[in-house]
């Protein structure tokens, strides 16, 4: 499974109403650190399929959701579980640290 693109319109269905935990990557095309973690998130989406869903929100195309959740810097990763933000990480992280963060948040 690869990452899922989420929009302002699909956020409620794809993230808030998801039966499994969801990581939301708030990113933009012009953001170099966002480009650095992109491949890591694709790998994690495949490796952790069934445990967690990895989604991406382009903040330039979808300004409502980042504003609602107070996203000030990108990349920002938010882990949602049962419709609530359970954990947040801001900035570029190595793949191992992202996996560690997800596993700690969903346990």
Catalytically active residues are 31, 34
Distance from chain centroid for Cα 82: 15
67 token code pair: 């504003």
Q: What CA–CA distance (Å, rounded) separates 43 from 29? A: 19
Sequence-separated contacts (24+) of 11-18 with Cβ below 8 Å: 11/57, 11/62, 11/65, 14/53, 14/55, 15/55, 15/80, 16/80, 16/83, 17/83, 18/53, 18/80
């Amino acid at each position: 499974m690869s990452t899922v693109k989420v929009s302002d319109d699909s956020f409620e269905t794809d993230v808030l109403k998801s039966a499994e935990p969801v990581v939301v990557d708030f990113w933009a095309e012009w953001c170099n650190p966002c480009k650095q973690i992109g491949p890591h998130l694709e790998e994690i989406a495949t490796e952790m399929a069934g445990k967690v869903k990895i989604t991406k929100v382009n903040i330039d195309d979808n300004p409502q959701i980042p504003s609602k959740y107070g996203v000030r810097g990108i990349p920002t990763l938010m882990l949602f579980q049962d419709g609530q933000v359970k954990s947040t990480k801001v900035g570029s992280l190595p793949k191992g640290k992202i996996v560690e963060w997800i596993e700690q948040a969903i346990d």
